[in-house]
A = this chain, B = another copy of it.
Amino acid sequence: MNRFINLLKALSDSNRLKICAILMEKPLCVCEITSLLGMANSTISEHLSVLRKNNLVVYERDGKWINYKFKWPDNQTEKMIIMQIIEYSKTDREFSELVKKTASVDREIICSR
C-alpha cells in the first residue's frame, strides 16, 4: 500500500511527470533532461533518484553518459494507471511541446559547454 502511495507521490510532481513523459520518447542523459527542463542538474539528478526508488526508470552507462530510460511497472493495474496519468498530462500544451522538443535534443551539442 505504501509502495503504491509513494508511486503516486512520485508522479504528483509536474517536473517528474515531465521527465517520465520525455523518457518515454527516448532514453536521455542528465544533461539533456537538465537542458529540456531548464533546472540545475543536481535537481534533475534528485528527481531521477526518486523515480529510480519507485522503479519508474532504469539507467545504463553509455560512454561518458548515463542513459535513463522509462520503465513500466510489472503490475498491470499500476501500469494502466500510470499510462493514463502520463497520457492525460500530455493533453497540456506546455507539456506536449516539451515532449515534441525531446526528439531533437542532442547531447553532443548540449553537454560540455
Contact = CB atoms under 8 A, between A and B. Distances in A.
Interface of A: 1-2, 4-5, 8-9, 11-14, 17, 77-78, 80-81, 84-85, 88-89, 92, 94-95
**Interface class of chain A by DSSP:** helix
Given A8-B11, A11-B8, A1 B78 contact: no
B17 A13 contact: no
A4 B13 CA distance: 10
B84 A88 contact: no
A30 to B, nearest CB: 23
Contacts of A4: 88-89, 92
A12 B2 CA distance: 10
Nearest to A2: B14
Given A12-B9, A14-B1, A14-B2, A84 B77 contact: yes
A88 B78 contact: yes
B14 A89 contact: no
Contacts of A14: 1-2, 5
